[in-house]
Amino acid sequence: MTAERTRVAIVGAGPAGLLLSHLLAEAGIDSIVLDSRSREDIEQTIRAGILEQGTVEILEKIEGSRVHTMGHRHDGVELRFAGEGHRIDFPGLTGRSVWLYPQHEVLIDLIAARLAAGQDLRFGAHVDTVEGVETDTPRITGTDAEGRPFEIVADFVVGADGSRSVVRPSVAGSMTAGYFREYPFAWFGILCEAPPSSDELIYSNSPNGFALISQRSDTVQRMYFQCDPEADPNAMSDAEIWETLQSRVPGTSLNEGPIFQRDVLRFRSFVVSELRKGRAALVGDAAHTVPPTGAKGMNLAVADVILLNEALRRLLLENDESGIDAYAEAARHRIWKAQHFSWWMTSMLHLSPESTEFDRYRQLGELHAVVESEAGRRYLAECYTGWPFRTTL
């Protein structure tokens, strides 16, 4: 078998891997993108839906992007607690907005754009080994969709392959090296056929636990309620699901409709110990996981990619290592801000099984303090709509 040669081997065709291949191609740097999943699987998996304004500004420049035709701009969210709703007005507080545009739609756009541009993009390709990251020619081996072995030699390897990253051990030393936090609750998520129950998202802290009323389109709603991490998504009847959701957003009558998808999302916070070693780096969920309450997951992946793109341009076009040497520290700066925000939104809005009456009253005090202060609302809005992307290293 003869090894193939590329400049950047990107493992993972999620938002991070695909966007990186696009940005590198703009600078004339070729790459191979590999993913163990099928194209259908990638394009159909339901993930989160909120894009920061900065993320939209990157995606809208990509040929064929439907973010403005299919996505919806959201100028605020509602925090609901103690029987009242409080709107956080994003443009009024920050001059920025967010867009509701589901991740699988982003992926459909990116895959189409990359294939149209002639990107070497391989689905069903399993990577088995990543070697030589401390040499100038790291290599990966694996098996393609037809079961044939492959070997790729690159100038750089990128792990954009999600929370079960096969590249992570080569960068961080092991799968688990890093900083973790588990949460004693999860989200029960549904998709249902019914028009949105509210124009904007509602994040509701209720005595029975958290619920989030989101949407996917004019005819489909995405909703979540806090549940036990061990909950079986199929154990509840539709009627029980509606009763649970309705009880968690007192004051709003939810539009009900046929539930066509249900899942349980575990909550975890994680930051890998090392983001880069030699000629390999991690981006997106391969490097970190955030609980979904702050809607930061995909946006954080985009922020990593913008930095790594700059670092790789300098390394591969100018033979200048200063950018790649600065990558980990620069990425970590935003990662920990997003970790904090995601943890904060989660802990402020959920009812922990361990919480005492003191904790419950303190939490309401915190929510009142945030919404009654313009500074508090602005802080939340700045974090939610996203800090400006740093593009220089």
Chain residues in the site for ligand PHB (CB under 6 A):
48-50, 201, 212, 214, 222, 292-293, 295
Cα 149 to Cα 30, 220, 263: the distances in Å are 22, 42, 35
Number of H helices, E strands in the chain: 12, 21
Q: Is 340 a catalytic residue?
A: no
Q: DSSP characters for 250-279?
A: TT--PPP--EEEEEEEEEEEEEES-SEETT
Examine the residue annotation and report whether 337 is marked as an active-site residue of this protein.
no
Tokens of 163: 């929370």
**Catalytic residue (choose from 183, 203, 224, 327):** 203
| CB 99, min distance to ligand PHB, A | 11
Q: Does 327 participate in catalysis according to the annotation?
A: no
Nearest distance, CB of residue 90 and ligand PHB, angstroms: 13
Q: How far apart are alpha carbons 62 and 3 in whole angstroms?
A: 32
State which amino acid sits at residue 383. Answer: C
Q: Which residue, 269 or 309, is less far from ligand PHB as judged by CB? A: 269
Handedness of CA 68, 160, 181, 386 (dihedral sign): negative
Burial readout 224-249 (b: 16 or more C-beta within 10 A, e: otherwise)? bbbbeeeeeeeebeeeebbebbeebb
- Within 10 angstroms of residue 95's Cβ, the number of other Cβ atoms is 10
**52 vs 304, which CB is nearer to ligand PHB?**
52
We find the least distance from the C-beta atom of residue 47 to ligand PHB, in angstroms, to be: 7
Nearer to ligand PHB, 36 or 214 (CB): 214
Residues in CB range of 346: below 8 A, 6 or more apart: 183, 267, 291, 293, 294
Distance of CA 210 to the CA centre of its chain: 20
Cβ atoms of 45 and 190 within 8 Å: the answer is no
Q: What are phi and psi of 240, to 5 degrees?
A: -65, -40
Catalytic residue flag (residue 61): no
Torsion of CA 23, 328, 173, 305, to 10 degrees: -20
Q: Distance (Å, rounded) from C-alpha 28 to C-alpha 143?
A: 27
Question: Min. distance of Cβ 365 from ligand PHB in angstroms?
Answer: 23
| Residue 99 contacts residue 74 (beta carbons within 8 Å) | yes
d(CA 122, CA 145): 8
Residue 209: strand pairing partners: 206
CB of 184 to ligand PHB, least distance (A): 19
Least distance in angstroms from the C-beta of 212 to ligand PHB: 6
Rank residues 142 and 297 by Cβ distance to ligand PHB and give the closer one: 297
| Cβ 300 to ligand PHB shortest distance, Å | 13
Q: Nearer Cβ to ligand PHB, position 50 or 140?
A: 50
Q: Of the residues 22, 72, 288, 296, which is catalytic? A: 296
Q: Which residue is nearest to ligand PHB (CB)?
A: 214
* 187 vs 327 by CB, closer to ligand PHB: 187
Catalytic residue among 22, 72, 74, 350: 74
The residues, any chain, with a CB within 8 Å of residue 243's CB and separated by 6 or more, are none
Residue (165 or 214) nearer to ligand PHB, CB: 214
Q: Toward ligand PHB, which CB reaches closer, 98 or 133?
A: 98
How far apart are CB 292 and ligand PHB at their closest, in Å?
4
Catalytic option among 15, 102, 138, 292: 292
Strands 98-100 and 8-11: unpaired
Catalytic residues: 74, 203, 292, 296, 384
